[in-house]
Copies of this chain bind each other. A is one copy, B any other.
Amino acid sequence: MARKQKSIRTDIGWSDASSITLFGKDFPNEILGHLNLGDMGFLELTGRFPNPNESRMFNAMVVTLVEHGITPSALVARMTYLGAPESLQGAVAAGLNGLGTVFVGSIEGAAKLLYETMPSKEPQQDLQALAVKVVDSYKSRGAIVPGIGHPFHKPIDPRTPRLKQIAVETGFDGPYLKLMEAVAAQASLVSGKPMPMNATGAIGALCCEMGFDWKICRGLGVMARAVGLVGHILEESRNPMAQEVWHRIEEVATEHMRPKQDDEK
Inter-chain contact A89/B97, CB cutoff 8 Å: yes
Flag the segment in A122-130, A137-145, A184-192, A252-260 that touches B: A252-260
Does A86 interact with chain B (Cβ within 8 Å)?
yes
Note all chain B residues with C-beta closer than 8 A to A247.
3
Q: In whole angstroms, how far apart are the Cα atoms of A56 and B82 in the complex?
A: 32
Interface status of A213 (Cβ within 8 A of chain B):
yes
The residue from B39, B94, B102 contacting A97, defined by CB atoms under 8 A apart: B94
Q: Mark A231-245, 1 if CB is under 8 A from B, else 0.
A: 111110101011111
Q: How far is the CA of A215 from the CA of B56 in the complex (A)?
A: 31
Which chain B residues lie closer than 8 Å to A252 at the CB level?
8-9
CB neighbours of A131 from chain B (8 A) = none
Give A175 Cβ to nearest chain B Cβ, in Å: 22
Asked whether A7 is an interface residue with its Cβ less than 8 Å from the other chain, the reply is yes
CA distance A22 to B70 in the complex (A): 11
Residue of B nearest to A1 (CB): B265
The residue that A159 contacts in the complex, of B32, B153, B251, with Cβ under 8 A, is: B32
Cross-chain contact B254 with A237 (CB below 8 angstroms): no
Question: How far does the alpha carbon of A95 sit from the alpha carbon of B80 in the complex, in Å?
Answer: 7
Contact, CB under 8 Å: B227 / A40: yes
12 A–B contacts, CB within 8 A, in A order: A8-B252, A9-B253, A10-B70, A15-B69, A28-B158, A32-B63, A40-B63, A41-B227, A43-B231, A93-B94, A213-B237, A241-B249
A residues with CB within 8 A of B: 3, 5-22, 27-29, 31-33, 35-41, 43-45, 55-56, 59-60, 62-64, 66-73, 75-76, 79-105, 152-156, 158-159, 161-163, 165-166, 169, 213, 215-216, 218-224, 226-228, 230-235, 237, 239, 241-254, 256-258
